[in-house]
Chain A
């Protein structure tokens, strides 16, 4: 299609950006295939695999049984022997069904084999609460994965990053988990049609500020940005960093920011205890303790399973209001 004038910027929702990311990988890498529950004929329960079976056929877009150990083992075995699989783990909660394949096989095989095995496998999975899906379909378990040497974990917060991170993950020669968010599926923005990578391991400053640094993960970036807007009204100018990558974590970008703002608040949707925020907090105080003017604070989910009742679930998920309160508290306001 040739166009006479500059085309309008193309706006895509997160769900279609995921689709385009997978599609791009399957077009670019002949040794890639997509396998998972309901990804082929049904196009995934989230709809992000729509049309892939038609374009690539059943050799490369494969419906699997509901067998997460088998699916993840397929990813391990196929990637170790020369393929570049994209594995779809329908809900992140299902990690419990395949943690051996993930933790003991996928993450460790290269090291255990003295570097003689390479596992270029990408796992797409869906995390996050907010849909009334209750305790076993709503968790944010990125800390489980980030705790595994050999594993990379990214959390794209928007459509642009979702596409770019899927492509980056698929080109990476390590196992990479791309943790998507089900509440972000309809969130739209400009997404380029061409192939591009969002580098793994690099955080990005979403909003410049001077008074405090918020480090947020996944969908919480948007809550943090909302909070930042509200804080403007009371004369506060906070910086918002989208961590983007949990493992490896971009400590440098965060530390540089804190050296400027002297205060830090970490926001994630996972429960606070044992969440990745504790690790980030420790890293900040190890590297920038002298620059801190206030204790490092966290906003995260309370230490309970994700509740079903909408009333409780709303209470459970960290939000902009909670962030605003915590920022003010940190600043002694």
Chain B
């Protein structure tokens, strides 16, 4: 059948495209992004093709992308000690900043591990989409934000909220459906939010967040303040019309908005090569009329630097940026083991885990003398205790009362 042949050919091409993601290639270990691969001095077939792609791209992509890519590449080659010194500005982040980003990542990791276990033990109702593996993205971006800055999140939203300052107790209470949760137990995992922290909600609709983030950015511009809004979304959502409309309007109005695409390689269970014909979502930026930047989403410093530039541009009136972070989720689309669907290999997962953002950053912190192994372990233990306390608090908390069912459907004056 000609059609079948065509499909096979397309699949082959797709497989080639995702070669850097494939576990069979050692490239994955060496480079987080194709950019890195391309710039790397070592040779491989995959790298060559990536390099070709980059070469072709560099002509049409904005100037912003090139230095960002260079930075990532440079970092990959240099010793970890350059981390503290390097950066967009000549002054690197302080030790306090490094510690804060690490804390964010570790808090997310441990929260999600526990939440996943609770779900699989049947202690949490509904479905949880866990952020384990992608911690560097939320942490690196959020390090630049205050509570006055808005974010919209995704169905995989716990990590964004933890990084934005969400506390374990009301978060677990929300996952447990208790009235002490951030949303009084009425939103749950997929709608968890905190307006005081500037978190405009996880979102059960893929592509639901970006138009709202664009609206929040409009609000900031309208009021004339210097606050920004960040739209987190995935490679899956990048195919939703809502994302294109939001991006076009943000660029048109030069809104203080950053579109952060967490490209984890899968739209639910469908590999990126099977859901879009491009490898880099950032390619679409020029179509919107904004800079497109790719960074290593498994490297919190790379995210921190790239996000810093994009956020600074937004704050200073330079308009939006599409920042694509190449990352990976270790767990299933839902839960830890999920539904047991075979859509990726264990080898692929293990290969990505070798580039774990937290492990590598902890090594850097130790090498830089920012934290000792002992301190890191103590911190981990403290987070563990806080988690258990929060889970106890959540399970001890009351469920919403029947009268709360009809509460807050509408705003009622004086209620």
Contacts and interface: CB of A to CB of B under 8 A. Distances in A.
Contacts of B242: 69-70, 73, 100-101
Contact of A77 (B200, B407, B409): B200
B249 A65 contact: yes
B241 to A, nearest CB: 6
B193 A116 contact: yes
B205 A114 contact: no
B410 A114 contact: no
B87 interface: no
B201 interface: yes
Contacts of B407: 115
B223 A112 contact: no
A36 B194 CA distance: 29
A114 B182 contact: yes
A41 to B, nearest CB: 15
Nearest to A118: B411
Contacts of A70: 211, 214, 242, 245-246, 248-249
Contact of A78 (B183, B205, B216): B216
A57 interface: no
B218 interface: yes
A81 B211 contact: no
B186 A112 contact: yes
Nearest to B190: A112
A26 B182 CA distance: 34
Given A78-B222, A104-B208, A150-B409, A65 B215 contact: no
A150 B194 CA distance: 19
Interface string B219-236: 110110000010000000
A103 to B, nearest CB: 10
A149 B409 CA distance: 6
B222 A80 contact: no
Given A73-B245, A101-B242, A81 B150 contact: yes
B133 interface: no
Nearest to A66: B245
B215 A109 contact: no
B213 interface: yes
Nearest to A100: B205
B35 interface: no
A67 interface: yes
A101 B214 CA distance: 13
Given A67-B248, A76-B211, A113 B187 contact: yes
B48 to A, nearest CB: 40
A111 B185 CA distance: 10
Contacts of B248: 65, 67, 70
Contacts of A281: none
B193 A81 contact: no
Contact of B215 (A81, A113, A115, A118): A81
Contact of A65 (B196, B223, B252, B408): B252
Contacts of A113: 183, 187, 191, 193, 195, 201
B403 to A, nearest CB: 13
A98 to B, nearest CB: 9
Nearest to B183: A114
B410 A174 contact: yes
B319 interface: no
B323 interface: no
Contacts of A59: 222
Contacts of B217: 77
The 9 nearest A-B residue pairs measured at CB? A77-B215, A73-B211, A115-B408, A70-B245, A114-B184, A114-B183, A67-B245, A112-B191, A77-B212
Interface of B: 150, 152, 181-187, 191, 193-196, 200-201, 203-205, 208, 210-220, 222-223, 229, 241-242, 245-246, 248-249, 252, 407-411, 413
23 contacts: A59-B222, A65-B245, A69-B245, A70-B245, A73-B211, A73-B212, A73-B214, A73-B245, A73-B246, A77-B150, A77-B213, A78-B215, A78-B222, A83-B223, A100-B205, A105-B203, A105-B208, A111-B409, A114-B181, A115-B184, A115-B407, A120-B411, A152-B410
